[in-house]
Chain A
Amino acid sequence: MSVVTLTVNGQDVAVPAGASLLEATRAAEANVPTLCHLEGLTPVSACRLCLVEVEGSSKLLPACSTAAAEGMVVHTHTPRLREYRRMTVELIFAEGNHVCAVCVANTHCELQDMAVTVGMDHSRFPYQYPQRLVDATHPQFTLDHNRCILCTRCVRVCDEIEGAHVWDIGSRGGQCHIVAGLDEPWGQVQACTSCGKCVDVCPTGALFRNSDTTAEKQPNTTLPALLRTAREQRRWHNQ
């Protein structure tokens, strides 16, 4: 296996060729924050939290979808990156209806955690209070659009891991929202296998089990990576 070596925050790291910058920053324990990224799913570079500075590049590069290359000099926590990350998280809070106190995901929410990580003590951008709906038509699960941050993990896990492709995105800009099937009530989508992977990987309280109430949601975000590895390396217990 060939290896590339690079520098992350002054620390030399070696990662397998083909590894992402994100893996390289993790090798250096640099704690680059991510929200849309999830191990085992295709990176989409949508949340922009993992942007890093690479010397010689005039642009900030998303660590999740940029390949680590030999000799790269990477900075992950410069003052401007910290500031942009905080602004990004403020923008996410401001565009949805995120009320941690009354959320199923309270204390288990990646967005709530991210606010702490980026040092957001308040939002400098006024909250938008968009009018959003709740889809409670599925017998086991609920989709609360108010808490959705459009990370598209549910879209990807359903498409790439479960193979059902129940979810997609409708509309554009601030009107973007997750749609089930052909923009139908979730409970009517026959393609849905009710596997619950979308609920498990949802970083917020947007997707939850009907039995969960405030602060009771327990996500399981390691599932996609486990399943993908198992499939690719044929690591099944019964073989």
Chain B
Amino acid sequence: MPVTPQLRCCDASGCRSAGGQALRRALEEARDAAGLTAEALAIKPVGCLRLCGSGPLVACDGPGPSQLFGGVAPEHAGALIAASVAANDGSAAVSDDPLAAHRLDLSDPFFALQQPVVLEGCGQVNPESIDDAIAFGTYAQLHRVLQELTPEQVRDEVRRSGLRGRGGAGYPTGLKWDTVALQPPGPRYVVCNADEGDPGAFMDRSVLESDPHRLIEGMAIAAYAVGAERGFVYVRAEYPLAIERLRLALQQARSRHLLGNHIDGTSFNLRLEVRVGAGAYVCGEETALLLSIQGQRGMPQPRPPFPAQSGLWGAPTLINNVETFTAVPAILRQGGHWYAGIGTEHSKGTKVFALSGAVVNTGLVEVPMGTPLRTVVEVIGGGVPDGSPIKAVQTGGPSGGCIPAERLDTPVDYESLLELGSMMGSGGMVVMGASTSMPEVARHFMGFSVNESCGKCVPCRAGTVQLAQLLDRFVEHRATPADMERLDALCQMVKVTSLCGLGQSAPNPVLSTLRWFRHEYEAACREPAACVAAGGVER
């Protein structure tokens, strides 16, 4: 990026809710008051600057290293403008810096240990400006791909990168692309799953709000690679800003002929549209999502056939998550080998996590796969605010589980998390302190699954209801040892017999807490004798 003096103001949902827009207006007024023009000091709305918990965030760029300020109120606008001027004319910082308390240390591990690939442009580009995106290099890979590479070569590169689906299941992306591309001739579709519904997950929202053009570029490259001419981004309605920016970005891309017919003067055509979900979590499940796009009730279907064989309107359909598509331009720019050089043997590249809960640094984190969980939550996250030890880390939302403190040295990759009874999921990571009761955590997530079950198959529809009631008994300390057996057995049954991933993983929060924190469940049992005497009549 050129070193024009500028202030980058985070204008994503997190900082907006902390007053980011008022701050930006105040900055513009202060700049005018200081007699500066927009050319002399640009004040640019950008996407996520990562440390969401300290919003609103403002980054100050000049000839020297960038500075970052957090929790700044409109009354600090004058001081920020002054600091920006000082940074640019090289004058020394004033001794009693009014912003001292707001200055964030960019050498802090929270920033220093991050490796932005998917988030490269987040916090750098103005998400509402295609010019800014293009100046940052977005669409350069689409251009190169269309002019220089065959679809096979693109797929080779993606296969080489070892990229796996970032929606949670970790299916090899290259293999999926090949499967779609190699179907018999006919129409194909690309679909982006942006129905991010896990509680505690906000990675996809941040990408959509911060760098929508990067996603469009990734999807266009994918469409070219698999031979699709039409695609959809399925975004949940709960993300209004993301939808607004994505729609704007699509419009801008169309007006620059980066979408539409004969893109970049080639024979490649692509129509991309936004489809807004209606609030069902299950529509994040791919077969339900595809039905929803087609205007039907979002209910999972038995697989096979997989969407890659028969998806939208029966045509082969490539469906990937936001993060997966967004990683693609960087992979093509730097090469699949480069990407495969990051991460572990079976989990390549970087992963974005949304860090929240009982942790000092709440925000968005992109780190190489294989980074120990401890590094993420203790070093990058800064541990529990009161300095007490971490009790557990929840990953994978209602489909994942709680990883106990003694396993924090586990590297974060698909297989290791599965082994611990959790899963990567889409990337939500909730840190839990000592006071968190594990049966309560399990009940919370089970309540989520009860509400979000689509109701199609019996184990998920009726089993989760019974599981939630069993968990109530533990939370309310009226469980019996027989309830414990019932809980174990029903968890297994729901996990093994449910139709789709939602039901199959709904028991995971219970199973993982039963595995690592069984004593908390046992402590919640009444004495068996007391149970018989009271007869469970108050049920």
Asked if A pairs with B, the answer is yes
Binding site for B on A (CB under 8 A): 43-48, 51, 59-60, 62, 65-66, 80, 83-84, 87-88, 91-92, 94-95, 124-126, 128, 150, 168-169, 171-176
Residue from A46, A95, A171 in contact with B457 in the complex, judged by beta carbons closer than 8 Å: A46
* Interface pair B461/A125, CB less than 8 Å apart: no
| B: number of interface residues (CB 8 Å) | 31
* B302 at the A interface (CB under 8 A): yes
Cα-based distance from A84 to B498 in the complex (angstroms): 11
A88 contact set on B, CB distance < 8 A: 458-459, 493, 497
Cα-based distance from A46 to B503 in the complex (angstroms): 12
B496 contact set on A, CB distance < 8 A: 59-60, 80, 84
Cα-based distance from A188 to B283 in the complex (angstroms): 31
Interface centre among A65, A87, A128, A168 (most CB of B within 10 A): A87
- Residue interface bits B260-303, CB-to-A below 8 A is 1, else 0: 00000000000000000000101000000000000001010010
Cα-based distance from A113 to B498 in the complex (angstroms): 23
B282 contact set on A, CB distance < 8 A: 172
- Residue interface bits B444-464, CB-to-A below 8 A is 1, else 0: 000000111111111101111
* Interface pair B451/A173, CB less than 8 Å apart: yes
A43: nearest residue on chain B (CB-CB)?
B302
* B86 at the A interface (CB under 8 A): no
* In the complex, the 10 A-B pairs of residues with the closest C-beta atoms, listed nearest first: A176-B455, A91-B462, A173-B453, A95-B462, A65-B302, A45-B302, A48-B497, A125-B466, A173-B455, A172-B455
Cα-based distance from A60 to B466 in the complex (angstroms): 22
B456 contact set on A, CB distance < 8 A: 44, 46, 150, 176
**How many Å from the CB of B481 to the closest CB on chain A?**
14
* Interface pair A87/B490, CB less than 8 Å apart: yes
Cα-based distance from A123 to B47 in the complex (angstroms): 54
Interface centre among A45, A62, A66, A94 (most CB of B within 10 A): A45
* Interface pair B461/A174, CB less than 8 Å apart: yes
Cα-based distance from A125 to B466 in the complex (angstroms): 7
Given contacts A60-B496, A126-B539, A168-B297, contact A173 B486 (CB under 8 A): no
B486: nearest residue on chain A (CB-CB)?
A124
* Interface pair B461/A48, CB less than 8 Å apart: no
Cα-based distance from A150 to B457 in the complex (angstroms): 9
Can you give 27 contacting A-B residue pairs, CB < 8 Å? A44-B302, A45-B499, A46-B456, A48-B458, A48-B498, A59-B496, A60-B497, A83-B489, A88-B493, A91-B458, A91-B459, A91-B463, A92-B458, A92-B462, A94-B466, A95-B465, A125-B490, A126-B466, A169-B299, A172-B280, A173-B451, A173-B455, A174-B455, A175-B455, A176-B454, A176-B455, A176-B461
A125 contact set on B, CB distance < 8 A: 466, 490
B residues 485-526 near A (Cβ < 8 Å) are 486, 489-490, 493, 496-499
B296: nearest residue on chain A (CB-CB)?
A168
Residue from A48, A65, A172 in contact with B459 in the complex, judged by beta carbons closer than 8 Å: A48
B465 contact set on A, CB distance < 8 A: 95, 128, 173-174
B469 contact set on A, CB distance < 8 A: 126
Cα-based distance from A83 to B489 in the complex (angstroms): 10
Residue from A45, A84, A95 in contact with B493 in the complex, judged by beta carbons closer than 8 Å: A84
Cα-based distance from A55 to B498 in the complex (angstroms): 19
Given contacts A51-B497, A176-B455, contact A87 B450 (CB under 8 A): no
Interface centre among B297, B458, B465, B499 (most CB of A within 10 A): B458
A85: nearest residue on chain B (CB-CB)?
B497
A59: nearest residue on chain B (CB-CB)?
B496
**How many Å from the CB of A176 to the closest CB on chain B?**
3
* Interface pair B497/A173, CB less than 8 Å apart: no
B455 contact set on A, CB distance < 8 A: 150, 169, 171-176
A80 contact set on B, CB distance < 8 A: 496
Cα-based distance from A51 to B457 in the complex (angstroms): 12
* Interface pair B457/A174, CB less than 8 Å apart: no
* Interface pair A47/B297, CB less than 8 Å apart: no
Q: Knowing that A46-B458, A124-B486, A174-B461 touch, tell me 11 more A-B residue pairs with CB under 8 angstroms.
A: A45-B457, A59-B496, A87-B490, A94-B462, A94-B466, A125-B466, A172-B282, A173-B450, A173-B451, A173-B454, A174-B453
Cα-based distance from A47 to B451 in the complex (angstroms): 19
Cα-based distance from A175 to B454 in the complex (angstroms): 9
* Interface pair A48/B453, CB less than 8 Å apart: no
* Interface pair B497/A84, CB less than 8 Å apart: yes
B486 contact set on A, CB distance < 8 A: 124
* Interface pair A48/B457, CB less than 8 Å apart: yes
A65 contact set on B, CB distance < 8 A: 302
A173 contact set on B, CB distance < 8 A: 450-455, 461, 464-465
Cα-based distance from A48 to B498 in the complex (angstroms): 7
**How many Å from the CB of A150 to the closest CB on chain B?**
7
Cα-based distance from A202 to B206 in the complex (angstroms): 48
B280 contact set on A, CB distance < 8 A: 172
A126 contact set on B, CB distance < 8 A: 466, 469, 539
* Interface pair A174/B498, CB less than 8 Å apart: no
**How many Å from the CB of A179 to the closest CB on chain B?**
11
B residues 225-251 near A (Cβ < 8 Å) are none
A62: nearest residue on chain B (CB-CB)?
B302
Given contacts A48-B499, A168-B297, A172-B280, contact A91 B466 (CB under 8 A): yes
A175: nearest residue on chain B (CB-CB)?
B455
Cα-based distance from A93 to B477 in the complex (angstroms): 27
**How many Å from the CB of A238 to the closest CB on chain B?**
34
B451 contact set on A, CB distance < 8 A: 173
